[in-house]
């Protein structure tokens, strides 16, 4: 296997505050290869978006990368600052945001926003940039792309706007795309279109994708591998089939069991008891132990478990536990 496009090693993000420092991302490691889609799932506040923001260098102050390494195409990028980091954004790392209604500048035509981005990163003429802008809109499936260059964002529907956002994220041909909840704000009927578009474009170009979502359906449909995050830590990491059908971590198991599926009929949904701990009150030992049905003394007192051969950060990984 070739070297991964993105390689995160022991990434830790800290937010210093008046009442002490909290750690929304705690020792997370994963790789994404070219053309691969890694789904990152977890509840709100699990640190999945924070990790994505750390990679693209857009952590909101006072949050900062306090440990670990981020490698992109063999270059270490977690220590880059200012203009050097800016040049990577858009050019090597593209980002798609959650809400297409607010992520486009309402006062600039979409063509202007596209050419502006390309002219910033690529050494091409304005005419060439405009030609490529038409091609980019055409590629994401916007009908009449040449005429729509002069349209303003409000003249597009939500789904169409997310297509424009994807065109913008990909227009300088980055090798990594971070898609942060790209379908959450969209109608269900449009979600599948956007996901398959994202998958198609990235497969064609060999772009690595970090797909951040809390929607297991989206993961099952699009991702090759999946990283499950809980309380800032990686709970489980593995090929999507294995994780979905045969989860090793009790948290993943609970998560899968609480996903509504048509095949389950009208049976009551499973619930994981309790709630994810606040960042300033993460329990000793395994962070999941108070909610875990299989927790033993070791889980409560020993230092937190590391990722083992089972792909799960658990002292007693489940074996062959079928999801209901």
Partner 1 sequence: MLAYIIRRVAQSALVLLIVGLVAFSMFTFVGDPIDNMLGQERTQEDIDRLRGQLGLDQPFPVQYYKFLENAVQGNFGVSYRQGRPVSDILLERAPATLELAAVSGLLAIGFGIALGVFTAIRRNGVLANFIMSASLIGVSLPTFLIGILLIYLFSVELGWLPSFGRGDTVDLGGWSTGFLTESGRKALILPAITLGLYQMTLIMRLVRSEMLEVLRQDYIRFAQARGLRERAVNFRHALKNTMVPVITVIGLQLGAIIAFAIITETVFQWPGVGLLFINAIQFVDIPVMAAYLMLISVMFVGINLIVDLLYFTIDPRLRVDGKGGH
Positions in the binding site for partner 1 (CB under 8 A): 56, 58, 86-91, 94-95, 97, 99, 102-109, 116-117, 120-121, 148, 151-152, 154-157, 165, 168-169, 172
> Kind of pairing, strands 6-17 and 64-72?
antiparallel
Closer residue to partner 1, CB minimum distance, 87 or 296? 87
Q: How far is the CB of 82 from partner 1 (least distance, A)?
A: 9
Asked if residue 292 lies in contact with residue 224, where contact means CB atoms within 8 angstroms, the answer is: no
Closer residue to partner 1, CB minimum distance, 79 or 258? 79
Q: What is the dihedral of CA 207, 210, 211, 214, to 10 degrees?
A: 170
Closer residue to partner 1, CB minimum distance, 165 or 226? 165
Closer residue to partner 1, CB minimum distance, 79 or 245? 79
Closer residue to partner 1, CB minimum distance, 72 or 240? 72
Closer residue to partner 1, CB minimum distance, 108 or 267? 108
Asked if residue 315 lies in contact with residue 285, where contact means CB atoms within 8 angstroms, the answer is: no
Q: How far is the CB of 109 from partner 1 (least distance, A)?
A: 8
Hey, what are 163's tokens? 């297509």
Closest CA to 218 of 238, 193, 242: 193
Q: How far is CA 66 from CA 30, 70, 79, 107, 288, in A?
A: 17, 12, 10, 38, 23
Q: How far is the CB of 190 from partner 1 (least distance, A)?
A: 13
Q: How far is the CB of 261 from partner 1 (least distance, A)?
A: 32
Closest CA to 42 of 25, 55, 59: 25
Q: How far is the CB of 49 from partner 1 (least distance, A)?
A: 12
Q: How far is the CB of 1 from partner 1 (least distance, A)?
A: 29
Give the Cα separation of 29 and 12 in Å (integer): 10
Tell me the β-bridge partners of 14. Answer: 64
Give the Cα separation of 249 and 4 in Å (integer): 25
- Expressed in angstroms, the distance from the first to the final Cα of the chain is 35
């Amino acid at each position: 296997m070739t070297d991964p496009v993105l390689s995160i090693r022991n990434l830790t993000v800290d937010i210093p505050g008046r009442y002490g420092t909290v750690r929304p991302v705690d020792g997370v490691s994963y790789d994404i290869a070219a053309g691969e889609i890694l789904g990152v799932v977890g509840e709100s506040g699990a640190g999945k978006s924070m990790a994505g923001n750390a990679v693209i260098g857009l952590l909101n102050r006072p949050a900062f990368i306090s440990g670990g390494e981020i490698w992109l195409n063999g270059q270490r990028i977690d220590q880059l600052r200012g203009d050097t980091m800016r040049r990577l954004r858009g050019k090597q790392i593209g980002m798609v945001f959650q809400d297409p209604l607010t992520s486009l500048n309402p006062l600039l035509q979409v063509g202007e926003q596209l050419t502006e981005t390309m002219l910033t990163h690529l050494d091409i003429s304005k005419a060439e940039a405009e030609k490529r802008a038409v091609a980019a809109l055409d590629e994401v499936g916007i009908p009449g792309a040449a005429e729509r260059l002069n349209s303003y964002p409000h003249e597009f529907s939500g789904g169409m706007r997310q297509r424009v956002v994807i065109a913008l994220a990909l227009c300088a041909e980055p090798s990594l795309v971070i898609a942060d909840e790209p379908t959450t704000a969209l109608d269900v009927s449009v979600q599948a279109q956007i996901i398959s578009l994202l998958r198609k474009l990235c497969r064609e170009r060999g772009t690595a994708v970090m797909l951040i979502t809390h929607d297991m359906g989206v993961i099952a449909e699009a991702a090759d591998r999946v990283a499950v995050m809980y309380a800032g830590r990686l709970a489980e990491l593995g090929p999507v089939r294995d994780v979905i059908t045969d989860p090793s971590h009790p948290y993943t198991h609970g998560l899968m069991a609480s996903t509504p599926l048509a095949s389950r009929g009208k049976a009551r949904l499973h619930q994981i008891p309790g709630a994810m701990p606040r960042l300033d009150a993460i329990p000793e030992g395994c962070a999941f132990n108070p909610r875990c049905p299989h927790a033993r003394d070791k889980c409560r007192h020993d230092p937190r478990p590391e990722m083992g051969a089972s792909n799960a950060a658990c002292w007693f990984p489940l074996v062959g536990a079928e999801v209901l």
